[in-house]
C-alpha cells in the first residue's frame, strides 16, 4: 500500500533509510488495538553489516507544500512488487503504545520548532525596526525616527520577545523533567518528574506552536508592506512554522490529550500540585520589586484552577469537556509560562543586586525583568477571559450557526 506525508522518506544523505512503520499483521483485530510497529529499511542489511538488496519500498511522489521546502515530504509505496520486508519492534499489537514513546519526544521537539522559528522571526523584526525610519516618534529628536520608537511597533516586538522567552522556559522545564525522570535514583522521584513531563508535553507542543505562528505573523506586521514581499524573508518564517500546529498530532488533539488524559492523572492530583506551586510562589514575590506581578498572577492561576476543576468534575460529559479543551490548553500555556517567567524575573532581580554585576550583565538582567513584566501585565490577563469558554459546554458550539 501507500503512506503519505512521510518526512525525508527518500534522500541520498545516508546509505540507508530506516522507516518506522505502523501496520497490521494478518490476524490482527480491528481498530488501533490491532496495530503493530515495524522497521522497514530502504535496503536490507547483510549479516556482516554491509548494505544488501533494495527493499520493496519506494518514493512515488513529493508533496508541493506551503513551507518547509528544505524537507522533502514523500508519498511512499510499499510492497508493490515482491513485498516489503519489515522487522517487528516490541510485541505484536502494541504499536500505538510503542510509537507514543517516540511521539512524546517528537511533540516536544515540534514545540521547540515553534520556539526556534519564533526566535528567528523576532531577531529579523528587531533588526528591521532599528533600521527602518518612518514618521516622527513622540519625544524623539530624530525625524524620521526608527520605527522601534513608535509605541505600537514596540508593543509588537515586546509581544514577540516575551512569547519567545515564555516558550523557551516552558520547553526547558519540560525537557528537564524528562531528563531528571530518566536519571532518577528511585521510582518515586522518577514518577514525580514523569508526571510533570506528561502534563507539560501537550502544552509545549500545542501552545508553543500556536504562539510561534502568532510571533511569525507579528514579524510580518513589523515589516509593514515589506513583510508581504518575499525578498525580505519575513513571510518564510510564517510559511515554515505553520505546519508545526498540524504535524505530530494537531493542536486540537494536544488539547484533547491534555484534558482527557493528563488532567485526570492521579485523579487531578498532578495539576493541583502544579497550581499549588504557583500559588506558593506568591510568598516569594512579596516585599520585592516585583510585587506588581502578584495580583495578575493570582487572578490567572485562580481562573486556570477553576477551569481545571470544572473539567475534572464534568469529565463524564465528553461533549462539554471537548468543547472546552482548546480554550483550556491556551489558558494553561499562558498561566504556566507566566509563572515560569516570573520565577526568571525574581532570579534576575536577585542577581542584579549583587555587588560584582557588570554593566552588560545588569542590562541583560533588566531586559529579563522587563520582558517578564510585560508578559504578566499585558498578555497574561487574557487567560482569565478564557474561563467562560472552557466552562460554557457543548451548547456554545451550536450547529445551527452553519445554516
**Would you please indicate which residues are annotated as catalytic (active-site) residues?**
248
Q: What is the mean pLDDT of residues 167-183?
A: 97
What is the pTM (predicted TM-score) of this model?
Answer: 0.93
Which helix (H) or strand (E) is 60 found in, with range? Answer: strand 57-62
- Per-residue pLDDT of 94-150, as tens digits, reads 999 888 888 888 999 999 999 999 999 999 999 999 999 998 888 887 789 999 999
List beta partners, residue 51: 45
- Per-residue pLDDT of 192-211, as tens digits, reads 999 999 999 999 999 999 99
For the chain, the average pLDDT equals 95
Predicted confidence at residue 299, as pLDDT, reads: 98
Q: What is the mean pLDDT of residues 250-256?
A: 97
pLDDT category of residue 249 using cuts at 50, 70 and 90: very high
CA separation for the pair 144, 132 (Å, rounded): 9
CA separation for the pair 39, 24 (Å, rounded): 13
In degrees and rounded to multiples of 5, residue 65 shows phi and psi of -110, 165
- Per-residue pLDDT of 379-396, as tens digits, reads 999 999 999 999 999 999
- Per-residue pLDDT of 9-37, as tens digits, reads 999 999 999 999 999 998 899 988 899 99
CB 289 within 8 Å of CB 352:
no
Predicted confidence at residue 82, as pLDDT, reads: 87
Predicted confidence at residue 6, as pLDDT, reads: 95
Res. 355: pLDDT tops 90: no
Residue matched to cell numbers 497574561: 380
Predicted confidence at residue 56, as pLDDT, reads: 96
Select from 288, 285, 385 the least CA-distant residue to 335. Answer: 385
Amino acid at each position: 500500500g501507500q503512506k503519505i506525508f512521510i518526512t525525508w522518506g527518500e534522500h541520498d544523505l545516508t546509505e540507508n533509510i530506516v522507516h518506522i512503520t505502523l501496520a497490521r499483521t494478518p490476524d490482527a483485530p480491528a481498530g488501533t488495538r490491532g496495530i503493530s510497529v515495524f522497521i522497514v529499511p530502504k535496503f536490507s542489511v547483510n549479516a556482516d553489516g554491509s548494505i544488501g538488496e533494495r527493499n520493496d519500498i519506494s518514493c512515488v511522489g513529493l508533496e508541493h507544500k506551503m513551507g518547509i521546502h528544505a524537507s522533502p515530504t514523500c508519498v511512499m509505496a510499499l510492497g508493490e512488487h515482491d513485498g516489503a520486508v519489515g522487522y517487528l519492534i516490541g510485541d505484536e499489537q502494541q504499536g500505538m503504545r510503542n510509537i507514543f514513546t517516540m511521539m512524546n519526544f517528537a511533540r516536544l521537539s515540534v514545540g521547540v520548532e515553534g520556539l526556534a522559528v519564533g526566535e528567528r522571526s523576532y531577531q529579523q523584526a528587531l533588526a528591521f525596526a532599528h533600521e527602518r525610519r518612518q514618521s516622527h516618534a513622540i519625544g524623539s529628536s530624530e525625524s524620521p525616527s526608527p520605527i522601534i520608537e513608535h509605541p505600537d511597533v514596540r508593543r509588537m516586538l515586546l509581544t514577540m520577545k516575551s512569547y519567545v522567552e515564555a516558550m523557551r522556559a516552558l520547553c526547558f522545564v519540560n525537557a528537564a523533567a524528562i531528563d531528571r525522570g530518566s536519571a532518577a535514583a528511585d521510582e518515586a522521584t522518577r514518577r514525580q518528574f514523569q508526571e510533570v513531563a506528561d502534563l507539560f508535553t501537550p502544552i509545549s507542543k500545542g501552545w508553543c506552536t500556536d504562539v510561534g505562528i502568532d510571533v511569525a505573523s507579528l514579524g510580518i506586521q513589523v515589516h509593514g508592506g515589506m513583510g508581504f514581499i518575499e525578498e525580505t524573508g519575513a513571510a518564510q518564517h510564517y510559511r515554515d512554522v505553520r505546519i508545526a500546529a498540524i504535524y505530530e498530532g494537531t493542536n486540537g488533539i494536544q488539547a484533547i490529550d491534555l484534558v482527557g488524559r493528563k488532567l485526570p492523572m492521579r485523579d487531578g492530583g498532578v495539576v493541583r500540585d502544579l497550581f499549588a506551586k504557583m500559588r506558593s510562589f506568591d510568598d516569594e514575590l512579596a516585599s520585592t520589586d516585583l510585587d506588581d506581578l502578584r495580583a495578575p498572577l493570582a487572578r490567572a492561576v485562580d481562573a486556570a484552577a477553576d477551569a481545571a476543576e470544572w473539567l475534572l468534575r464534568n469529565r463524564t460529559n465528553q461533549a462539554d469537556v471537548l468543547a472546552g479543551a482548546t480554550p483550556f490548553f491556551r489558558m494553561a500555556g499562558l498561566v504556566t509560562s507566566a509563572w515560569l517567567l516570573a520565577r526568571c524575573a525574581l532570579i534576575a532581580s536577585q542577581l542584579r543586586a549583587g555587588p560584582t554585576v557588570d554593566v552588560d550583565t545588569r542590562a541583560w538582567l533588566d531586559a529579563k525583568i522587563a520582558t517578564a513584566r510585560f508578559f504578566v501585565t499585558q498578555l497574561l490577563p487574557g487567560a482569565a477571559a478564557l474561563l467562560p469558554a472552557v466552562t460554557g459546554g457543548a451548547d456554545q458550539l451550536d450547529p445551527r450557526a452553519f445554516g
